Structure 1
Amino acid sequence: MINSIVILGIQWGDEGKGKVVDLLSKKSNYVVRYQGGNNAGHTLLVNKKKTILHLIPSCVLHKNVIAVLGNGVVVSLIDLVNEINFLKKKGILIKNRLILSPSIPLIFKYHIKLDKARESSILNKSVIGTTHKGIGPAYEDKISRRAIRMNDLYNLDYFYNLLKKNVKYYNFQLEHLYHKKTINFKKIFNQSITAFEKIKHMIQDVSYLLNNKIDKNKKIIFEGAQGSLLDIDHGTYPYVSSSNSSIGGVITGTGIGINKIKYIIGVSKTYCTRVGNGPFPTEIFNHISKYLCTKGKEFGATTGRKRRIGWLDLFLLKKMILINSLSGLCLTKIDVLDYLPEIKVCTKYLDKNSNKEIYSYPFTIENWRNIIPVYKTFKGWNQSTRGLTLFLDLPIEAQNYINFISSFLNISIDLISTGPNRHETIINNKFLKDFIQ
C-alpha cells in the first residue's frame, strides 16, 4: 500500500501545488511542510471562496487532516499566529490540529529588516528579488549555528541571552553597513514570548511522529514550497531560494527515513512563470505573455508581483524529473492555453556562439545569457477545457500536446488541472484515485 506522497514543484514555484495538496489530502491523515517559510503562497479556491496560505499546509479546508511544520521550515511566530487567526475568522479552526517541530528556526524582525536592506542597497550588485520575509537571513543563522529555535523559548533566560546577542549582531550591520534604523530588543522579546504562549502546546517530536504514523499505514502528504528550480543546490543559482525545495528537503526537513517515501509527484504548469530576477530562457514579452498573465492570474500570492511568462521548458523539466526521482507528473493550467492559435514547448538549447546543442546543467550566469531555446510548435485547440475531468474529453490538439510532453520526458502524466477549483481535475492514475477515496 502506498500511503506517503511527496508533492513538489519542478519549475520556479507558483505551479499550483496548493490545489493539488488540497485535492489529494481529502482522505489523508497528515500534511507536512518540510522547507521554506512564509515566502510561499498557496492559493486554494473552493466553492468560489479563495484562501491564501503562507505557512500552514494546504490541507486546512479538510477538518479531519492534521497539519505539520517540520524542522526544515523557518517560522515567524508573529506571522504564524496571524495566519491562525486569519483562518479562525474564516471559520477554519487550526489551533488543535497543527503540529510544530521543536527544531524549527525562528524568523525575527531583524531578519526581515536585513533582507530588505540588502535588496535595496547599492552594495548589492545582483538583487535576487526576494519576498522581503527574512527567509534568507534566517537560514544563514541556521547554518552559522546562531539560530534561535522553537524549543529555545521554553527557557526564558536562555532565550533572553540568545536574542540579545543576535539583536546586537544585526543592529551593528543595520546601523554601520546599511545605515538603517536599529531593532528594539525588548519589543521583540515581549512579542515573541506572547506569540509563543499561543502555540507552544502544538510542539512535539515530528520525526518520531511521522515515522511512526507511516509504519502504521496512516496517509501522509509532504507539501513542497517554492519549486525545484529555486533549490539552493540544484536551482538556477544564485537566483534561488534559501532551502532545498527538491526531494532532499523532505528527508532533512522532517527527519523521516528515505525508504518511507513511496510516491513523488512533480507539479508543472503547461507554460512557465518566474517571480524575481534570474535566468529564464523561454521568457516571452509579446501579446501572448500579456494574455497568459491576465488569463492565468499570474500575480504572486505572497508579494502581488506580476510574474514573468514563458513557454514550457522541457530541457529544465528533464533535469528536475531526474534529481527528484519523480513517479509521475501533474500538469496545471491547461485551460489557460485555450484559444491560443499555437503553443510552443522548448525541447533543447543551443549555444549562441557555437550554435551547438547544450547538454550540461547547471550553467554559469554567463552561460545562461548565451542560451538559444529551440521550440516545437503545436496547433492550439480554440475551445474551452475548463472543468473537464476525463482525458478523452480534451480536444485532440490538447491530447497531442500532453502526450508529447509525456513521451518526451518519459514520464506518466498522472494529474491534469483544468481549472482552479478542486473538482476541475483529470486523474489518470488509479493509485491517486484510490488515495482520495
Structure 2
Amino acid sequence: MPGIIVVGSQWGDEGKGKATDQMGDRVDFCVRYSGGNNAGHTLVVDGEKYAMHLLPSGILSPNSTPVIGNGVVIDLGVLFHEIDVLTGRGVDCSNLKVSSNAHIITSYHRTMDKVTERFAGKRKIGTTGRGIGPTYSDKINRMGIRVQDLFDEEHLRQKVEAALDQKNQILVKIYNRRHIEADEIVEELLAHGERLRPMVVDTVRLLNDGLDEGKIVLFEGAQAHHLDVDHGTYPYVTSSNPTAGGACTGTGVGPTRIDRVIGIAKAYTTRVGEGPFPTELHDETGEKLRTDGGEFGVTTGRPRRCGWFDALVVEAAATANAFTDVFLTKLDILSGWDRIPVCVAYDVNGTRHDRLPMSQQEFAEATPIYEELDGWHEDISGCREFDDLPVKAQDYVKRLEELIGTRISGIGVGPGREQTVMVHDLID
C-alpha cells in the first residue's frame, strides 16, 4: 500500500487541501510535514467551508488519523483555536497525533519576525509575521523549544532563558523594543502543556508501523516547491522544505516507502508576498482572475498576485519532486475567455529559455513567451468525467500535460468536494 506525497508546484495556494480531501476517506493517516500557521487550506464539504492552518486536511475524514510531524512548527494557541472551532462545528478532533520533536512557536518568535521585517523596509521578504522563520532559525541554531520540552518545567525554563539571553540583546539594543521576561514565556507554554500531552506520540514509529501493516499514509505539504528554502525563488521563500524530500525529513519516513508524488497546480498562477513572478498581470485581466478565483489568502487575507499558467515553473517542480501525477485545480475559473495564454518559454535579455533559468537574477528579468490556446464559454462546474468537459477545455488540459511532462490525473472544476473530474485514480 502506498505512501503518497502531495506537493504544491507553484508558489502555494494551489488547492492542495482539495486534492488531499479527494483521497481522505481512503487514507489511514494524513500527515502534515512542514511549515506552520503561515499556510492555509480551504475545504468545502457539503456546502460547508472549513479553513485550516495547522491541522491536516484529513481531520475532516473520520477514517483517517491526522498527524502533525516533526517538521512542522506549532503555534499552540492557533492549534487549540482550530481544534475548538472544528469541535464546535461537530468535527471530531480527538484522534489528532503530534510529534514530540516538533518545534514550538513562542511569542518572542512572533515579535522577532515582525520587527525584523519592519526593519528590512524595501528589502522585506513578505512574511506573514507568524514567527515561522525565527522558529526554524532557532531550530537550526540548536536553541529551539520542542513539544517534549513542555513536560519538564526546569528543562523548559533553562531553554527559554538561553534563547532570551540572545534575543533580548537584539530586541533592546538594535530594535529598541522592550525586554522579554522568561517567566511569562514559560507560564504561557506550560499552560498549554497538559492539554497537548494526550496528543503527543512517537509519530515516526506510528507512521512506519502503519506502513508495515499495509496502511495508506498521505503526506500533506504546505506552501509549494518554489517557496522551498533550497529550491525556491530564494530569498523570497519560506523557511522549510515543502518539497517531496521534506516529507521524509519532516516525518521520519524513508524515501523507499514513498510510492507516489502528486503535484498540485492551479490552472493559472498566483503568488502572495514578494519575489519574481514572470506571468504576473497588473491589469484588469489580473484583477478578473483575482475576483473570479477568490484569490485572497486563507491565512492573511492578502490579495494574491495573479497571472497566466507558467509551464516552466510547474515543469521544474515536476522534475525536482519526481511527480507521478498532477492535480489541476480551478479550471472552472478560466471559463469565459476567448483566448488563454500559456507561458511556454522566457526571453531573458534576448535569449530564449525553454527551462527555468539557473540564476535567480535571470529569472527575475524573464519576460514570458506565450502560446495562446482557444478558450471556452461553457460552465464546467457540473462536469464529472473528462469527456464532459468542452473540447477546448480538454485541449487546454492536454497541452498543459505535454508542457509539464506529467500526466494530469485530476481536475478541480469548483470548490466543492464533489466538483472534481478524476482522469486517473490517485491511489490505485
Give the deviation of 1:118 after TM superposition. Answer: 1.1
* Aligned residues of 2:74 and 2:103 also touching (Cα < 8 A): yes
Match of 1:383 in 2: 378
1:263 paired with 2:260, answer yes
* Aligned residues of 1:236 and 1:362 also touching (Cα < 8 A): no
Aligned with residue 397 of structure 2, among 388, 393, 402 = 402
* Alpha-carbon distance in structure 2 between the residues aligned to 1:375 and 1:181: 52
Match of 1:69 in 2: 68
Match of 2:234 in 1: 237
* Aligned residues of 1:11 and 1:228 also touching (Cα < 8 A): yes
AA partner of residue 280 (structure 1):
F
* Alpha-carbon distance in structure 2 between the residues aligned to 1:181 and 1:367: 42
Give the deviation of 1:79 after TM superposition. Answer: 1.7
AA partner of residue 7 (structure 1):
V
- TM-score, normalised to structure 2, is 0.97
* Alpha-carbon distance in structure 2 between the residues aligned to 1:157 and 1:5: 40
Match of 2:423 in 1: 428
Match of 2:246 in 1: 249
Match of 1:363 in 2: 359
Aligned with residue 292 of structure 1, among 269, 289, 292 = 289
1:411 paired with 2:406, answer yes
Give the deviation of 1:410 after TM superposition. Answer: 2.1
* Alpha-carbon distance in structure 2 between the residues aligned to 1:247 and 1:67: 19
Give the deviation of 1:188 after TM superposition. Answer: 1.9
* Alpha-carbon distance in structure 2 between the residues aligned to 1:357 and 1:80: 44
* Alpha-carbon distance in structure 2 between the residues aligned to 1:426 and 1:360: 30
Equivalenced residue count is 428
Match of 2:225 in 1: 228
Which runs of 5 or more residues in structure 1 are unaligned?
none
Match of 2:387 in 1: 392
SS of 1:60's equivalent?
Answer: helix
AA partner of residue 135 (structure 2):
A
Give the deviation of 1:368 after TM superposition. Answer: 2.8
Which runs of 5 or more residues in structure 2 are unaligned?
none
- The verdict on how the C-alpha distance between 1:338 and 1:358 changes in structure 2, with shifts beyond 3 A counting, is closer
Cα shift readout 1:330-377 (whole Å, capped 9, x = no counterpart): 10000000101211110011112x34436453323x323321110000
Alignment of 1:23-422 (within 5 A): 23-94=22-93, 96-121=94-119, 123-352=120-349, 354-357=350-353, 359=355, 361-364=357-360, 366-422=361-417
SS of 2:73's equivalent?
Answer: coil
AA partner of residue 265 (structure 2):
S
Give the deviation of 1:397 after TM superposition. Answer: 0.7
Give the deviation of 1:387 after TM superposition. Answer: 2.9
AA partner of residue 178 (structure 2):
K
Give the deviation of 1:84 after TM superposition. Answer: 1.4
* Alpha-carbon distance in structure 2 between the residues aligned to 1:385 and 1:218: 35
AA partner of residue 73 (structure 1):
V
AA partner of residue 394 (structure 2):
Q
* Alpha-carbon distance in structure 2 between the residues aligned to 1:369 and 1:231: 17
- The verdict on how the C-alpha distance between 1:431 and 1:357 changes in structure 2, with shifts beyond 3 A counting, is closer
- TM-score, normalised to structure 1, is 0.95
> Any runs of at least 4 consecutive aligned residues in structure 1 with deviations exceeding 4 A, and if so which?
none
